[in-house]
């Protein structure tokens, strides 16, 4: 189950910023990861989702993921997110909590099939730059990402 009741856009000083409404205070650090680190980038949400899937596979040598608001460690027993405030706090989440919250956030960031395709394409381009031996990457969550049933997921662009 996702740790968030909803995500919404807030217009502030000429900018548009994502806001998370957590189910309870325990999800504040996860909300920072989503809204302050991933921000409005669907491909980055997919990148973090991939790290969750690696942890689900039992990998324990996953590189930490650092942003401008959090430092995140992905392990088979869950995800630890430390906020980067003056008084940092670390919170542990289950892989399912982070996975479900990321899917919900990606759905919020990419409300149309065109935006979903674009973010999958951006993720694939990033992945092939990091892993040049893979020419046609398929996101590990493709089977359960919220996509229209008639839509093709994406077409990798030639490099």
90 falls within a domain:
yes
**pLDDT confidence of residue 147:** 81
How many domains are there within the chain?
1
52 falls within a domain:
yes
Cα–Cα distances (Å) from 113 to 104, 105, 134, 136, 149, in that order, read 15, 15, 25, 20, 10
45 falls within a domain:
yes
For the record, the structure tokens of 83 come out as 């906020």
Whether the Cβ atoms of residue 20 and residue 7 lie closer than 8 Å to each other: yes
pTM equals 0.90
151 falls within a domain:
no
Q: Which pLDDT band holds residue 148 (cuts at 50, 70, 90)?
A: low
157 falls within a domain:
no
pLDDT at 154 over 60: no
pLDDT at 153 over 50: no
pLDDT at 121 over 90: yes
pLDDT at 158 over 90: no
Whether the Cβ atoms of residue 98 and residue 88 lie closer than 8 Å to each other: no
Hey, is 14 helix, strand or coil? coil
**pLDDT confidence of residue 135:** 87
What is the domain range of residue 20? Answer: 4-144
Render pLDDT for 14-53 as a digit per residue (tens, 0 to 9): 999 999 999 999 999 999 999 999 999 999 999 999 999 9
101 falls within a domain:
yes
For the record, the structure tokens of 114 come out as 């065109």
152 falls within a domain:
no
Render pLDDT for 60-75 as a digit per residue (tens, 0 to 9): 999 999 999 999 999 9
When pLDDT is averaged across residues 85-111 and rounded to a whole number, the result is 96
Cα 26 to Cα 39: distance, rounded to the nearest angstrom: 20
138 Cβ contact partners less than 8 Å away, ≥ 6 residues apart: 153
For the record, the structure tokens of 57 come out as 């596979």
For the record, the structure tokens of 5 come out as 């009741």
156 falls within a domain:
no
């Amino acid at each position: 189950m996702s740790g968030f009741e909803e995500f919404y856009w807030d217009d502030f000083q000429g900018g548009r910023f994502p806001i998370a409404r957590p189910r309870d205070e325990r999800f504040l650090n996860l909300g920072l990861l989503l809204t302050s680190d991933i921000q409005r980038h669907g491909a980055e949400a997919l990148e973090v989702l991939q790290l969750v899937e690696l942890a689900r596979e039992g990998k324990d040598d996953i590189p930490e993921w650092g942003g401008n608001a959090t430092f995140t460690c992905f392990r088979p027993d869950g995800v630890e997110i430390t906020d980067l405030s003056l008084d940092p706090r670390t919170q542990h989440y289950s892989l399912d909590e982070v996975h479900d919250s990321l899917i919900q956030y990606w759905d919020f960031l990419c409300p149309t099939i065109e935006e979903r395709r674009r973010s999958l394409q951006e993720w694939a381009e990033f992945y092939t730059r990091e892993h040049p031996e893979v020419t046609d990457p398929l996101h590990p969550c493709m089977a359960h990402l919220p996509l229209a049933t008639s839509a093709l997921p994406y077409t990798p662009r030639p490099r």
